[in-house]
Structure 1
Amino acid sequence: MIVGTGGIVRDAHLPAYRKAGFQVTGIYDPDQDRARSVARDWNIPAVFSTLEEAAAADAVFDVAAPPTAHRDILNALPRGASVLLQKPMGLDLAAATAIRDTVRSREMTAAVNFQLRYSPMMLALADAVRSGRLGTLTEIEVRINLVTPWHLFPHLKTNPRVEIVSHSIHYLDTIRALVGDPASAFARSFSYPGSELSDTRTSMILDYGPTLRVLLSINHHHDFGRRFQDAAFRVEGTEGAAQAKLGVLLDYPAGEPDELWLAPRGGPWEQVALSGAWFPDGFIGPMANLQRYASGEDDRLATNVEDAWRTMALVEALYQSSKQAATPLPTE
């Protein structure tokens, strides 16, 4: 049962669930016209008129609502329910903590929809890392230099935080899934002239000690044609390297095909054949894992709220870093 009928539900959740064979038994949104339209387009049998009616359904709940609504929705759902929450887990760490505590107190089985780590390219990359194909990791770099159609996300206009918590959180969560938590973090976020959003460009460095360099360079305003636009996730180690192209971000939401390339030290590069793409295939993983964990088939809920809280703690550290003064240059 899905709570929410925004663009991400149409573009990713429902295509993913149809592809995986998951049955969507009902849908709810305060915008009843939109809910009925989605139900009609996707052959969903029930449109609930209230959240209370939806909560009474015997179902796994997919809460695809804005993060500011998560806690109220959780409190309306049955005690002990299995729930997948759309990312982010609140807009700051205080909200994430409140959501985590609600899940604990209501004894829910809950995960957050961090789906980039489940995309075919990132599953293959993680397998290459685990198998030792890249050796000891020395580099992780995320480079986003493109134009994002922010008009598709009007709800972000009022948010005091945008870029890291709504976009780069995908990369931060995936990095955590690959190499764990950093010891510390540095960031600077920037607004853009004429933009209605608080911040849409960010530079980040994550501290993993003296040999693993991790950095993210994010610019959503490179509106100068496709030639030098980029959406890359690079991982290098002592024995090999990997380069992923996040195709959906280039001309979102139509996008381009995702790519993953691997090379041993000295080359050559070889492209990895991918079965599917981040959108919509990555969205299968979190829901499949939640259902299998709730039924006892999986012994680990990968993006459970406790782990998601750690991703939010990293987001919070980056925002706090961005507010702090940098070291000034000597004057003499």
Structure 2
Amino acid sequence: MGAPYVLTNPPKVALIGGGFIGPVHAEALRRIGVQVAGLLDITPEKARPQAERLGIPRVYSTIEEVLADPEIGAVHLASPNNIHFEHAKAALEAGKHVLCEKPLAVSSKETSELVKLAAKHPMQAAGVNYNLRFYPLAQEMHARVARGDLGRILTVTGSYTQDWLLMVDDYNWRVEPDGHTNLRAIADIGTHWMDLAQFITGRHIEKVNADLATFHPERNRPVGGAETFTGPNSTKKASEAVKIETEDYGAVLLHLSQGARGVFHVNQMHGGRKNRLYLEVCGTEGSMVWDSESPELLWLGRRGAPNQIMNRDPAILSAEAGNFSHYPGGHAEGFPDAFKQLDLAFYTFIQNGCKGTPNFPTFADGDREVRICEAIADSAKAKGWVDVKE
């Protein structure tokens, strides 16, 4: 089982964005002893009720007010995608550590600037919240590939499926175009799958061939907006039909480094699938399968030996994965624990003086994901293979 998570004098945090994912950040930070000292949302009036529910003592009016607060050492960006760049840049320049929700920004022009800026501030941690890496069995898969258990990696395949946008009345700001790639399902959940696939295999996605589909060319937007994952507009609020330019579904063929191949699909209109990531890695010596709906189980396949189902248990995990598994076998670790483990890696790195190689997703990882998305958007338009730009 992993070492106790005791942090020494961690920086206080300002949370930017109090919507669906903001409270998850607040809970995870509280679990490792990091204080969320303030909240910034669209307006102070919107922020105050959420701050009271989360026990956050201060509400800010502007990002400038956040960054001028000498008590704040780090910011967590859980704001809409189109303002990530502005907030991350300002926070780094103000001397704050930054942990940003994905995507890091909406274009590689912006992400490359953030990567360069982070490099100029080596004593500030700069990470992206690809938390799915921190499921213990995802770490176990990474360790097994790294030590050669699967031999040469041949393929990585899978999917990420949800049903929260199945109905024409389902609406959220995420369905609106970002003015750049205008990707939604790929950028929202597909980047999680791609980050995990690259982390586990140690291979980079180099070339893509994509097919995208929008099954609802129009959706009914509630007057006043709707929250994420609240289901259809069951209260029958007044709504207006709006044209949809972002995709509900995407399928992508992949060429990865070292000759590996892959394919995955994403679908946000898959009835009954609430939030399922499925990933399979195949090598010359065997294969592995992980399904986020059964996160405590890892399927291990062999040609000349019996297949196995491995339970998450720190007593039998590799040392690397065991460090990110804090409960005994049979005591499930899931989505909130993955957030906690990412935050623990991030703030331990800060506690150690930001020295060495970060063991969390960095701005460089976030930049690569945006470049892959740009290649996918270009591929879907060209209906052919496109290289991921370096």
Q: How many residues are paired up?
A: 315
Return closer, same or farther for 1:87/1:264 CA change in 2, 3 Å cut-off. Answer: same
Compared CA separation, residues 18 and 153, structure 1 to 2 (3 A): farther
Match of 1:58 in 2: 72
1:76-87 matched pairs, under 5 angstroms? 76-77=90-91, 78-87=93-102
Please list the CA deviations of residues 114-166 of structure 1 after superposition, one character each: whole Å capped at 9, or x if unmatched: 11112223112212222333222222111235423474743432432212112
Give the C-alpha shift of residue 309 in structure 1.
1.2
| Bigger shift: residues 63-72 or 14-23 | 14-23
SS in 1 for 2:98: strand
Tell me, what secondary structure is at the counterpart of 1:270?
A: strand
In the alignment, the residues of structure 1 paired with residue 86 and residue 259 of structure 2 have an alpha-carbon distance, to the nearest angstrom, of 44
Tell me, yes or no, if structure 1 residue 262 matches structure 2 residue 262. Answer: no
Instruction: Give the aligned residue type for 1:137.
Output: I
> CA contact under 8 A between 2:37 and 2:72: conserved in structure 1?
no
Aligned to 2:214: 191
Counterpart AA for 1:118 = F
**1:71 paired residue number:** 85
Amino acid at match of 1:23: Q
Gaps of 5+ in 1: 248-255, 328-332
Matched, 1:35 2:47: yes
Report the Cα distance in structure 2 between the residues aligned to 1:262 and 1:313, rounded to whole angstroms: 32
Shift of residue 104, structure 1, vs aligned partner:
4.9
Which residue does the alignment assign to 1:312? 370
Structure with more helix by fraction: 1
- Counterpart of 2:194? 172
Q: Report the aligned-residue RMSD.
A: 2.8
Matching residue of 1:92: 107
Superposed CA deviations along residues 178-219 of structure 1, whole A, max 9, x for unmatched, are: 323233221111111355441021111111368532110222
**2:59 partner letter:** V
Gap change, CA 1:138 and 1:20, over 3 Å in 2: same
User: Is it true that 1:220 corresponds to 2:235 in the alignment?
Assistant: no
Q: Is the deviation greater in 62-71 or in 48-57?
A: 48-57
SS at match of 1:267: coil
Is 1:125 aligned with 2:145? no
The yes-or-no answer on 1:244 pairing with 2:290 is yes
State the one-letter code of the partner of 1:70.
Answer: H
Q: Does the 8 Å contact 1:235/1:242 carry over to 2?
A: yes
The one of 272, 290, 298 equivalent to 2:346 is 290
Report the TM-score when normalising by structure 1.
0.83
Give the deviation of 1:4 after TM superposition: 1.1
Identity of aligned residues (%): 22
Instruction: Decide whether the 8 Å contact of 1:111 with 1:303 is kept in 2.
Output: yes
Equivalent position SS for 1:6: coil
* TM-score, normalised with respect to structure 2: 0.72
Report the 3-state secondary structure (helix = DSSP H, G, I; strand = E; otherwise coil) of the residue aligned with 1:216: strand
Counterparts of 2:199 and 2:277, CA distance in 1: 19
Output the amino acid matched with 1:272: N
Find the aligned partners of 1:25 and 1:145 in 2 and give their Cα distance. 35
Q: Which runs of 5+ in 2 are unaligned?
A: 1-12, 220-243, 314-326, 386-390
1:4 alignment partner in structure 2: 17
Alignment match, 2:25: 13
Contact 2:160 2:189 in 1 (8 A): no
